[in-house]
């Protein structure tokens, strides 16, 4: 039976992204940088859309923190670098925020 994607919380460095409406995780990407290493600097991307606040500042761009998902069949945690923040406003609608992270494996 399919898992209902509800009751999900998302945090980056312990700060919650609020009113998340969409999550896309594309894990994988580049190979480890050494034969005996698990370190990969570009191990995929995560894109999250929310209606309230992404709870990040552009001053944090490039910082690596733990991105954690709980609930709704999305239980996982990974190191991720905050990369981009998009804000969109449209007439007669609410503001929407999109934030992307780059997964780091180490």
Of 53, 44, 45, 56, which Cα lies nearest the Cα of 21? 53
Part of the chain binding another protein (CB under 8 A), chosen from 35-43, 57-65, 76-84, 91-99? 91-99
Other Cβ atoms closer than 10 A to 101: 23
Q: From the CB of 36, what's the least distance to another protein, in Å?
A: 39
Q: How many residues bind another protein (CB under 8 A)?
A: 20
What is the residue-wise DSSP string for 16-40?
EE-SEEEEEEEE--SPPSSTT---B
Is residue 51 a contact residue for another protein (CB under 8 A)?
yes
Other Cβ atoms closer than 10 A to 30: 11
Q: Which of 43, 50, 54, 99 binds another protein (CB under 8 A)?
A: 50
68 vs 105, which CB is nearer to another protein? 68
Interface with another protein (CB under 8 A)? 4-10, 18-23, 50-51, 72, 91-94
């Amino acid at each position: 039976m399919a898992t209902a994607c509800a009751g999900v919380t998302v945090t980056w460095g312990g700060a919650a992204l609020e009113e998340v409406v969409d999550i896309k995780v594309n894990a994988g990407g580049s190979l480890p940088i050494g034969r005996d290493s698990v370190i990969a600097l570009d191990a995929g991307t995560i894109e999250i859309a929310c209606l309230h606040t992404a709870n990040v500042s552009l001053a944090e761009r490039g910082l690596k923190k733990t991105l954690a998902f709980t609930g709704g069949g999305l239980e996982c945690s990974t190191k991720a670098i905050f990369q981009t923040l998009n804000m969109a406003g449209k007439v007669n609608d609410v503001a929407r925020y999109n934030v992307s992270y780059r997964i780091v494996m180490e």
